[in-house]
Amino acid sequence: MVRLTLPAVFALLFSSPLLAGQQTLFSFVRPASVVNVATEDAGMPQYNAEQTAEGEVLRRVVFNPAERPTLRLSPQGGAWDWSAGQFLTLRLQSGMDWALTVDVTVQGSDGGTLTSRIDLPAGPAQTVMVPLTASSPLSQGMRAGPPMPWSHGGQRLLLTSSAGAVDLKQVASVSLSIPNPKVAQSLLIERVGIQDDDLAYKAAYQDLIDAYGQSTRGNWPEKVANDEQLKAADTREQQQLKGWLAERGRQQLDGYGGLLAGPAFEAKGFFRTEKRDGRWYLVTPEGHPFYSLGVNAVAADGGRTYVAGREGMFKALPGEGDALAAFYGEGNNDDGNASSQGRNFKQGRWFDFYAANLQRTYGKPCPPAAEGQPVNCPPQVLDAARWQTHALDRLQAWGFNTVGNWSEPALGQAKRMPYTLPLSIVGDYASISTGMDWWGSMPDPFDPRFAMATERAVAIAARDHRDDPWLIGYFADNELAWAAPGSDPKARYGLAYGTLRLTTDVPAKRAFLKQLRDKYRNQQGLSKAWGIELAAWELMEDPGFEAPLPDPEHPEIERDYQHFQQVFAETYFKTIADSLKWHAPNHLLLGGRYAVSTPEAVKACAEFCDVLSFNFYTLKPQDGYDFARLAELDKPVLVSEFQFGSRDRGPFWPGPLELAREEDRGPAYGNFLKAALAQPMIVGAHWFQYLDQPASGRLLDGENGHLGLVAITDVPYPGFVDAVRKGNLQAMAQLRTQLEKQAP
């Protein structure tokens, strides 16, 4: 480590202006006070500052190849008092021709820390603003904030998120580090300061969304500027769809979209599964192989976003009496789940930009006003039948054959495409936290109230679909918290740990204790097997009991956790399967749509479900799970979600899997399908989702991703849609060729 005190003065050629309300804590170019500067695996090789191409003067800091090279500033004595500040400001520039990742850590005298990660782009200097209290775009109601940097007050600003907490009256140091650089990286720095107001931060979110629900901070080919563009795009698309639908009509398909090529299967009147020549198939009611290519969330209500309390974010919301005011509504998504924690603006009035854009495109025009009178346009109801027909035309023209989860019920009822349905089991049963809990804690299947809730949910879901041959089957809920994220033992066995922390009022806790008592008889047997000192069995019954970590010297610990989680999962899936067999014996149980899972949960699903389903946010399915282990279960697999997104089409979040450009999404889609077809147990793949999420965040959790086949304006992304269609048609052609080879 090198520690030095900077000299009193440097030559100053040019300097960037300060924002109003900003105070300089320390200048690397012209220091006004003495500050201790420590470097670890880093250094400042030049004695003087240097002038950039833009005329600014900054000091070069070189971060050498190491795990975490660091530059640290601290007061020469005592601590800093930043209690009047709201942001830490850093005037920075990448000293390289590429972007840098810079971690900022503010350390308090009491050991508290506040951290922030800066994605510093290449180019001229910018002022980075780090919130001094934990903050993220969720504080503005959305998953990801607007693109940075942006120009404000004559400066390029870059707003970051921060996490943690520090006593701002006792700040001991601020550090900048570059995580694990492979080669030396240069960072140019002018000054460190404190901002005592949030005016610039508020300005970043002011007038962010235009009248069509699009970002005002960028332009892209599909961006809409007026209603005439919407109507013109719709006219062009209708002609294209006619041609594509005519081509589809010439394909060799049965009435449900099954392939007529190759030897037929037995027709049983409903969808089912069958394995033939080493490959699993879905089989249509007419007895033909069916590879399910679907789209999730094909619904007309996906454009809703909360506006209450943040009206200044929206540049042109409809006023009262405006025809589009019909698309306001009220909601409350403050459900207490992890998905809503830390998010503001999650209840109150919302506006549906997608529905408003549909109305602009093909709604009835307002009657002309009398001379000298204002336009009196009564609220209009969206033409649902027109939208449904258009959506189904699109899906079939684009090569899809399945209406995926969370879609408009009327699309399945139209009897044009097979569809799937979700089982959402809600009730007052006990639940267990595994440490993830994104959509809520795990339901306790040992609780009799869970069986009652399941019976009720399945009965309601099956009521209108029991004899519908177009229904493929039901999903057993979605992305349950079978484990916590990560690979450490407390994540892997989160269900077992979480259960043992509870009271014996919880049926799962009683079931686990019974399992252990039946095996070990008393606390002495358990203590020996687990390598702990359990003075009395009753101590395990206490809330907050901390179970030991798996230990190679005590293998029974892990075996007991695995056994409990296996019985838990079997009880869960058997409860649902038994209810479905009673209420909907003709339809498939399509698995649990795993985001995180355990081997026990997957094995139990394979035992009681007809299909295993996984949500894979990976470049190919094989990156999402060990298919060699799945092969041992000998069960068909459905990819129930996959997606590729980018940041260059308006919504600020690219989704779970980011690509560099919109143009990369189409090839990624095609490659994913090729990889899926290469795996003989995969029987289909469903894209997430039909529509881009609102740039200002969806109602449910503030997600604002570019995930769609179509934009919030209902205008398709033509390059992506064309690539998707080709990928779907190629996949079906490849499967058709394989089937024809099986013909006698």
Token reading at 593: 């749509």
**Quick one: pLDDT at residue 129?**
95
3-state secondary structure of 403: strand
Per-residue pLDDT reduced to its tens digit, 336-388: 887 888 899 999 999 999 999 999 998 876 666 667 665 555 556 678 899 99
Instruction: Report the candidate in 502, 508, 507, 497 with the shortest Cα–Cα distance to residue 548.
Output: 497
Which region holds residue 342: left if phi is over 0, alpha if psi is between -120 and 50, else beta? Answer: left
C-alpha separations of 154 from 17, 27, 300, 643 in Å? 8, 20, 42, 38
Instruction: Please give the biggest Cα pair distance in the chain.
Output: 94
Instruction: Report the candidate in 644, 709, 723, 668 with the shortest Cα–Cα distance to residue 294.
Output: 709
3-state SS of 50-114? EECCCCCEEEEEEECCCCCCEEEEEECCCCECCCCCCEEEEEEEECCCCCEEEEEEEEECCCCEE
- Which residue(s) pair with 422 in the sheet? 475
Q: Tokens 């990624």, residue? A: 668
Distance between CA atoms of 436 and 601, rounded to whole angstroms? 16
The number of residues making up the chain comes to 744
**Quick one: pLDDT at residue 579?**
97
Give the predicted TM-score (pTM) of the model.
0.93
Which region holds residue 287: left if phi is over 0, alpha if psi is between -120 and 50, else beta? Answer: left
3-state secondary structure of 440: coil
How many helices (H) and strands (E) would you count in the chain?
16, 32
Q: Tokens 């999420």, residue? A: 693
Q: Which domains does the chain have, with CATH numbers?
A: 2-204 (2.60.120.430)
Sequence-distant (6+) residues with CB within 8 A of 645 are 651, 653, 654, 655, 657, 658, 659, 665, 705, 706, 707
- Which residue(s) pair with 741 in the sheet? none
Distance between CA atoms of 580 and 270, rounded to whole angstroms? 15
**Quick one: pLDDT at residue 564?**
98
Q: What is the CA radius of gyration of the chain?
A: 29
The one-letter code for the residue type at 249 is G
| Helical H segments across 85-213, by residue range | 199-204
**Quick one: pLDDT at residue 152?**
87
Token reading at 218: 């960028």
In the predicted model, residues of the chain with pLDDT beneath 50 are 1-15
Contact 428, 506 (CB under 8 A): no
Find the helix packing angle between 556-583 and 448-462, rounded to 10°: 40
Cis peptide before 359 (omega within 30 of 0): no
Strand 304-306 to 185-195 pairing = unpaired
Distance between CA atoms of 135 and 12, rounded to whole angstroms? 35
Distance between CA atoms of 525 and 519, rounded to whole angstroms? 9
**Quick one: pLDDT at residue 617?**
97
Q: What is the DSSP letter of 7?
A: -
Distance between CA atoms of 32 and 29, rounded to whole angstroms? 10
The one-letter code for the residue type at 388 is Q
Q: Tokens 């604002």, residue? A: 704
Instruction: Report the candidate in 390, 413, 59 with the shortest Cα–Cα distance to residue 241.
Output: 390
Q: Got the DSSP string for 637-649?
A: EEEEEE--B-SSS
